Amino acid sequence: MTDRLATMRAMAEKQPRNPLARFGYANELLKAGDDVAAAAELEAYLALHDDEGNGWLRYADLLHRLGRESEARSAVARGTDAATRHGHGTLVAEFEERLEGWG
């Protein structure tokens, strides 16, 4: 485990209700290639925080990569709603591209 990953893990364990700690740990897990653990951390983050879309996009991509198609599509729908609510039109377009690319 890298020092950064260990640090982020410790932060998330110490402050499990801190969405930024969970998001940071999820990103480090993604970098380390631990997709299953990253999905769990992103799910925890999204349950704690009104994400504006970026977290939903990462989560949707990860779920798709893990073969969890219906969950990935649900994440796209929720992310699209969040991005729309927060006025992130470019991000909405990215969600639409994902769905088109997934077929």
Domain map of the chain by residue range? 1-49, 53-103
For 56-82, write each residue's pLDDT tens digit.
999 999 999 999 999 999 999 999 999
Residues 29-61: pLDDT tens digits?
999 999 999 999 999 999 999 999 999 999 999
What string of DSSP letters covers 52-65?
-SHHHHHHHHHHHH
**pLDDT score for 103:** 85
Joined together, the tokens standing for residue 30 give 């993604």
- Confidence (pLDDT) at 17: 97
Q: Is 78 exposed, middle or buried (0-12, 13-18, 19+ CB in 10 A)?
A: middle
Q: What is the pLDDT of residue 1?
A: 64
